[in-house]
Structure 1
Amino acid sequence: MPSLSEETNGRIKYLEPGSTIGIVGGGQLGRMMALSARQMGFRIGVLDPTPNCPTAQVADFQVTAEYDDVAAIRELAERSDVLTYEFENVDADALDDVRGLVAIPQGTDLLRVTQDRVHEKTFINEHGTVTAPWRQVDSIEQLEAALGEIGYPSVLKTRTGGYDGHGQTVLHGPDDFAQVREQARREGMFPPSILEGFVDFAFEASILVAGNGHDYVTFPMVRNEHRNNILHMTIAPAAVSQEVEREAHELAVRLAKGFELSGILAIELFITKDEHVIVNELAPRPHNSGHYTIEACSSSQFNEHIRGIAGWPLPKPRLLSPAVMVNVLGQHVAPTRALIPEHPEWHLHDYGKAEVRHDRKMGHITVLCDDTQAAVEALEATGCWDDLR
């Protein structure tokens, strides 16, 4: 019988190998969580509507149903010792309903904060961390007033549901505001949103922090490049001053403590030209920009996530080698596969998705190197990602 001694907050004091971890969501993040969990001796169940989804291919069982199917979530809970999730848009109420059946170490407060941009920005600011200036806007009239305070350019974001640039509109001037107003008139509604001041950043970055409810460790800060609002490439480590590095690590631990974090929290950052660190968004799970950790760090983000939710002690991750990670989208599958025989330095990860679609994340490649700029140039020189230039 697995050791499932629980604390009153629903966290596990210690989860023994042989126990079952249920994952809500069957995409690539769940797949890589499952692979790490298997290495530690855990069994895996997954809830996902797609039969033989990427996680199911490496799991012990799948509950095939929609994510908001209450009966399906209950079935997963009854067959698992611990539940975790691989994406934000999980029904927090449905998870709360099964707390009497299964431990949910991440809790649902973390979900509710990160599912709503107003709650997220408020949490970040209340924990002494800087964001872009923002205002809650629930009507065209409130948007107009917020623009009077924040000014142009600015970014209008829906409060919930956005990812990879979806639900975001850059307002460069009054003409863009007029278009938003006209769209709201045609649709007869204005979605609850926030308005953020535009950040003139030098580059985008991110940092991962892992917790087990009381101890917290951080990964190296990395530099990210987005193309068409999708992460294209991550460079580890980011070339920043010691002061910027220290500030990023301190804010990561501060936010993790605020959540009493179990598992991984990803923090997306803007680094300004005068070396200020501004938090953009939070993700309560492993993150695309952390995939490099599988090969480049002493412990991957997926290992730390599983250890955290299982109540295990967390080793401080060390960067073993500089690295570059690049995403393989649907249009890149054929050209990258054709070049596998020519690139022994490529660590290729294929997510096992049945349908190849344009701009869909199908896998990633990590290159360990001594010179990250040379590695970036070598990857781009293959021509596999020319469509994103």
Structure 2
Amino acid sequence: MIAPGAVIGILGGGQLGRMMALAAAQLGYTAHVYAPEPRAESVAAQVSADYTQGAYDDEDALAAFAAQVAVVTYEFENVAAAPLAAITRHAPLHPPARALEVAQDRVNEKTFVEALGGRPAPWQQVDSADDLARAVAAIGAPGILKTRRDGYDGKGQWRIRDAADAAGLDLPSTPLIYEGFVTFFGEFSVILVRGQDGTVQFWDSARNEHVDGILARSTVPAPAGIAAQVPAARALAQKVAEALDYVGVLTLEFFATEDGPVFNEMAPRVHNSGHWSIEGALASQFENHVRAILSLPLGSTALVSAGAVMDNLIGDQADQWPALLAEPANHLHLYGKAETRAGRKMGHVTRLVG
């Protein structure tokens, strides 16, 4: 157990790190952010005590950073895992680098989950145009071609409508994966926190609604049809956490289908679909992540009201902040980003229900 007053190191300078730093401050800890961009461009740095600008693969800089903090965590999973060994020589790293190795490569991720009994969408690895043609013939179309690494919020993805569509695609020179479409009636996420003693707690699963591949709204509790599939999804999520000896908040996303939950992807970190928990749960995902990595007792994940709705503010939707603040029931979170861009998450607003 690490006493208040200690410094938490956070890899990544975005809004998840920002909200993590705020949760740490509430418990009496300070944050030191490490990210490649200048400090002025990091929204996490705005609320943190210290900042180091450095590349994620600069082992000397990572080691110097780790020597200044009590524990290191991350808010961004597209960080090369191998250089993080430089951190673990100086400070504990939670979640473990193994979680990054699994989650940041879609082939590794699906293979790992299948070995634990999970069911992803049908998929095949694609390294050439011939591979893509074979994958479309075997799995069928329509489907989605994705980069194996990186890519989120709909980036690094191409919709394949038919074999001719696949044949006409100019493939990028990066490893790919082809996934068949899943017929589903809802999307949901399972978010858990696992402490260093192996204790696991779950938040209510949110129904997630996406627009153009970007999460637009999360609602808890989820409708009955989705809720019926949550126990099986939770069982898989717990297996994943235990297999990785995971510490901190872990997220798995699922499709709700007539045949049960289909695994979509995992994120070894706090997650956008859990932002509602800041006001909607007794202990938010950010607070419990901090508690877990510091080996503190976990807080209750119970709802504080009948439910909650979280809407992302994407692009110029954040310009509506005066009207949003004028509604007394709204809990507004703006991330401090200077530049508004289409598709960029600028903030969110949460409303409690009941």
Question: What range describes the TM-score normalised by the shorter chain of this pair?
Answer: over 0.9
Shift of 1:318: 0.5
Match of 1:223 among 207, 222, 231: 207
Q: Does structure 1 conserve the Cα–Cα contact (< 8 Å) formed by 2:207 and 2:219? A: yes
Alignment partner, residue 239 of structure 1: 223
Deviates most, 360-369 or 144-153: 144-153
Match of 2:20 among 19, 33, 52: 33
Runs of 5+ in structure 1 lacking a partner?
A: 1-13, 371-389
Deviates most, 352-361 or 215-224: 352-361
- Cα distance in structure 2, aligned partners of 1:240 and 1:67: 43
The equivalences for 1:132-281 within 5 A come to 132-180=121-169, 183-184=170-171, 190-213=173-196, 214-241=198-225, 243-272=228-257, 274=258, 276-281=260-265
- Cα distance in structure 1, aligned partners of 2:324 and 2:159: 39
- Cα distance in structure 1, aligned partners of 2:94 and 2:327: 41
Match of 1:129 among 95, 114, 118: 118
The answer to whether the aligner puts 1:302 opposite 2:289 as a matched pair is no
Higher Rg of the two aligned structures: 1
Residues 200-221 of structure 1, C-alpha deviations (whole Å, 9 max, x = no match)? 1111111101112311111111
- For residue 6 of structure 2, what is the amino acid of its counterpart? S
Q: Does structure 1 conserve the Cα–Cα contact (< 8 Å) formed by 2:220 and 2:309? A: yes
Alignment partner, residue 349 of structure 1: 333
- Cα distance in structure 1, aligned partners of 2:111 and 2:299: 31
- For residue 251 of structure 2, what is the amino acid of its counterpart? A
- Cα distance in structure 1, aligned partners of 2:30 and 2:299: 22
Q: Does structure 2 conserve the Cα–Cα contact (< 8 Å) formed by 1:221 and 1:237? A: yes
Residues 325-370 of structure 1, C-alpha deviations (whole Å, 9 max, x = no match)? 0011221122x22314530111000111122222211110001113
Alignment partner, residue 21 of structure 1: 8
Runs of 5+ in structure 2 lacking a partner?
A: none
- For residue 282 of structure 2, what is the amino acid of its counterpart? S
- Cα distance in structure 1, aligned partners of 2:16 and 2:137: 41
- Cα distance in structure 2, aligned partners of 1:121 and 1:69: 29
Q: Does structure 2 conserve the Cα–Cα contact (< 8 Å) formed by 1:347 and 1:366? A: yes
Q: Does structure 2 conserve the Cα–Cα contact (< 8 Å) formed by 1:221 and 1:248? A: no
The answer to whether the aligner puts 1:61 opposite 2:50 as a matched pair is yes
CA RMSD of aligned residues (A): 1.5
Distance 1:358 1:254, change over 3 A: same
The answer to whether the aligner puts 1:91 opposite 2:80 as a matched pair is yes
Structure 1 length-normalised TM: 0.86
Q: Does structure 2 conserve the Cα–Cα contact (< 8 Å) formed by 1:218 and 1:252? A: no
Alignment partner, residue 302 of structure 2: 318
- Cα distance in structure 2, aligned partners of 1:99 and 1:340: 43
Q: Does structure 2 conserve the Cα–Cα contact (< 8 Å) formed by 1:207 and 1:219? A: yes
- Cα distance in structure 2, aligned partners of 1:206 and 1:215: 20
The answer to whether the aligner puts 1:51 opposite 2:39 as a matched pair is yes
Identity percentage of aligned residues = 41
- Cα distance in structure 1, aligned partners of 2:115 and 2:287: 30
- For residue 284 of structure 1, what is the amino acid of its counterpart? P
Deviates most, 287-296 or 45-54: 45-54
Q: Secondary structure at the match of 1:98?
A: helix
The equivalences for 1:374-385 within 5 A come to none
Q: Does structure 2 conserve the Cα–Cα contact (< 8 Å) formed by 1:217 and 1:253? A: no
